[in-house]
Structure 1
Amino acid sequence: MKLLWTLVAALSVLLSPVLAGAQDFPNRSIRLIVPFPAGGPNDIIARVVGQRMSELAKQPVVIENRGGQGGVLGTDAVAKAAPDGYTIAISSAGALTISPSMEKVAYDTRRDLQPITLVATVPEMLVVATNVPAHDMSELIALAKAQPGKLNFASTGAGSLTQLAGELFKLKARIDIVHVPYRGAAPAVNDLLGQQVQMAFLDLPALLPQIKAGKLRAIAIGAPERAPTAMEVPTTAEAGLPGLLAENWYGMVAPAGTPPAIVAALNKIASEAMRDPAVKEKLASQGAELVGDTPEHFASFIDAETKKWAQVIKDAGVPTEK
C-alpha cells in the first residue's frame, strides 16, 4: 500500500504541470502551421478561422506557412512539435490521408498526430473544355468509351487528390482516359481553357469563375449535395455515378500526446470560430463548407478517407514510391 501511495504521489508531481497548463490554456500565443504557401485555399481558411480563434481565446494565433512536398513538410513539423497545444496545424486531405499511402513520409498520421476537428470541405468539380462534345455525365462517358485512351484529364500533380478523383472516375465509369499532371491548379486550368486537355476534377473555387464565364463546362460536383455557389450543377450521384465522391478537406491537428483537456479546449475554440456567421460568409466565396466536429469523429473520418483512397490507388494501379 505504501508503494502504491508513493507511485500515486510521484505521478501527481509529474502530471501537475500538465494539468495546470490545461486549466489556463491558452495563456500565450498559438502557432498555427499552414503546410502550403500563402494565398492558397488552405492558407485562406486558416487565416479566417485563426483570426476568430484569436479573438475568442484572447491570445494571438500566429500563422506560419511551411510549404513543401504537397503539405507533408509542414504537417511533419507539427508531428515533431511539443504536445502542449501551442503548435497546431490546419492540414489537408493529401498530407493526412493520401501522401502516407503514396510515398515515404516521416510521420504516421494516426500515431503521430492528434485530430482536433474537421474544419472545412471543398468539393471537386468535374469540368470539360468547351470543345468537348459532351454536356452531361452520360455523354462524357459515352464519348470516352468510343475513344479509349484518347481523352485525357488534368490534375494538380501526381498523387494529388485531383488525380485520384480522376482515377476514381475511370474506375466507376469503366473508361480509359489518360492522366496529365500539372504543378498546381492554375496551369491545369490554363490548359483546359486552351483545350490542351479535355477534362479535370479540380477544387470548385479554382473553376467557378471560368464556369460562370462560360469558358469551361461543368459536368458534375463530387459532393453529396449541390454547391450553393453552383446550384445548377448536379452531384455525381444525380448524374448517375453515386460512388464518385471526391472532396478536398482541411482539418486541425496537434502533436500526438497533447493532453485531452487541451485538445478539448482547442476543439471548443475552433468550433465556436467556425459557427461565426462572418467566418462562414468569408469562406463561402472559397467554396468551403465549414464543418466542426469532435476529435473522435474526425479521427474516424481520417481512417475512412485513408482506406478509401488507398483502395483507389491499389485498384487503379497508381504508381507509388513505397
Structure 2
Amino acid sequence: MDRRDFMAGGFGALLAGALPAAFAQSWPDRPIRAVQGFPAGGNADTIARLVGTEMSKALGQPFVVEAVTGAGGTLGSAAVARAAPDGNTILLATGGHVVAGALYDKLPYDTIASFDPVSTITFFPFLLAVPADSKFRNLGDVLSAARGAPGTIGYGTAGVGSTHHLVGELLAKMAGVRMMHVPFRGDAASIPALLGNNIPLVIAPPTAVLGHAKAGKVRVLAVTGPERWGAMPDVPTVAEQGVAGYDVRSWAGWMVPAGTPPAVIARLNAETLKALQVPAVKSRLEDMGGEARGSTPQEMRAMMVAELQKWKQVVADAGIPRMG
C-alpha cells in the first residue's frame, strides 16, 4: 500500500466513524414509531405511552405508539426486526418476547440477535386469584386438591404460550403437581370466566385483577414475585406458601433493530432512565403493579438470554408442543 492508499484508507475509516456520531446529533428528526404487540389499552400499550410521552419532552419528537397485534406479540417484534436500524422505530418488548422464543420453532427473527436492547422499564409479578366464594382459601388448598385429583384443577390464562401459561407450568413443576391449563384470548376473557365461576383459578397481571379484588369479587391467593406486592401486603408469595425458590416476574423494556447506532441507543437509554425517575411515571407504573427499574443495554441482554434458557427448559419439562 502506498502513501496515497494509506491516507485514503485512513480518511475513509475516520469518515465512517464520524457518520454515526453526526447522525446521532441530528436524530431524531421525525416522530418515533413505538411498536407494541398487544391490544390497545392493555399493559404494554399503557407503558409505551406513559414512558414514551415523557421521553418525547427531551427528544423533541413524539412517540407514536402502534399496536401490531397477534401471535403472542411476535408480529410486533417481527415488524421492528425488519425496520431500518435508524432509531426511528422502537419496540416495547415484554417478557412474552422471550417466552415466544422458547415456544416457536420458527420466527421471522432471532429473539436475541435481531435486536439491540435499550433498557428495561418495569418488572411486575402475576397474581393467582379465585372467585370470592371459592373453597380455596390459600395456595396450599389448590395444590392439595391438585395432588388429590391430578389434572382436574384448571387454571385460566391469557392463552397458550403466554407468560401466564408458563407461570402455571413452572408452578406445577416446582410443586410436584399436575394441573389443567385453560387458555383464553387474553385477560379480558379469562377474568369474566373466573367471575362467572367457569374456572376455579386464574393467573393474571395485577392490572387485570386489582379492581375486582377491591370490589370483593375475587380473592387473591398468591403473588408470583419474591416479595409481597405493596398494594396487597397481606397476600403471601408463592414461595411463602411452600414452593421454595419460586420467583416469576414479567417485564417490559425498549429494544431497537440490531445495528442501530450505539450513540442513538445510548441517548434512548439515558432518556429512559430519566423518565423512570419522574414521580408521575414511577407512581403510575406502581399503580399497575410494577416496579420502575431501568438497566444498561448489556444487563437487559443478559437477562433475556438467561430467561430464554429457563423458559425453554420449562417448555420441554411440561411437554408443551412447540409452535410452527
- The TM-score by the shorter chain falls in which range? over 0.9
Aligned AA (2:103) = M
| Aligned counterpart, 1:298 | 300
Q: Per-residue deviation at 1:235?
A: 1.5
Q: Per-residue deviation at 1:309?
A: 1.0
Aligned AA (2:36) = V
SS of corresponding position for 2:78: helix
1:233-252 equivalences under 5 Å are 233-252=235-254
Length, aligned pairs only: 321
| Aligned counterpart, 2:131 | 129
Q: Per-residue deviation at 1:129?
A: 2.9
1:192-203 equivalences under 5 Å are 192-203=194-205
* C-alpha contact 1:173 1:241 (8 A) present in aligned 2: yes
TM (norm. structure 2) is 0.94
| Aligned counterpart, 1:99 | 100
1:253-268 equivalences under 5 Å are 253-268=255-270
Q: Per-residue deviation at 1:131?
A: 4.5
Q: C-alpha deviations, 1:20-47, integer Å up to 9, x for none?
A: 0123433432221122221111000110
CA distance in 2, matches of 1:54, 1:30: 9
Q: C-alpha deviations, 1:156-175, integer Å up to 9, x for none?
A: 11111111111111101111
CA distance in 2, matches of 1:292, 1:132: 39
Aligned AA (1:296) = Q
Q: Per-residue deviation at 1:252?
A: 0.3
4+ residue runs over 6 A deviation: none
| Aligned counterpart, 1:272 | 274
Q: Per-residue deviation at 1:4?
A: 4.2
Q: C-alpha deviations, 1:102-157, integer Å up to 9, x for none?
A: 12210102211000001112210112234542212222211221122221111111
SS of corresponding position for 2:241: coil
1:84-233 equivalences under 5 Å are 84-94=86-96, 96-103=97-104, 104-233=106-235
Aligned AA (2:271) = I
* C-alpha contact 1:134 1:143 (8 A) present in aligned 2: no
* C-alpha contact 1:75 1:91 (8 A) present in aligned 2: yes
Aligned AA (2:102) = S
CA distance in 2, matches of 1:143, 1:73: 38
CA distance in 2, matches of 1:191, 1:236: 23
The alignment's C-alpha RMSD in Å is 1.6
Q: C-alpha deviations, 1:250-289, integer Å up to 9, x for none?
A: 1100010112111111000111011100111223222222
* C-alpha contact 2:132 2:218 (8 A) present in aligned 1: yes
Q: C-alpha deviations, 1:46-67, integer Å up to 9, x for none?
A: 1010110011222222222222
Unaligned residue ranges in structure 1 (runs of 5+): none
| Aligned counterpart, 1:29 | 31
SS of corresponding position for 2:112: helix
Instruction: Name whichever of 44-53 and 18-27 sits farther off.
Output: 18-27
CA distance in 1, matches of 2:112, 2:149: 42
Aligned AA (2:67) = N
1:41-56 equivalences under 5 Å are 41-56=43-58
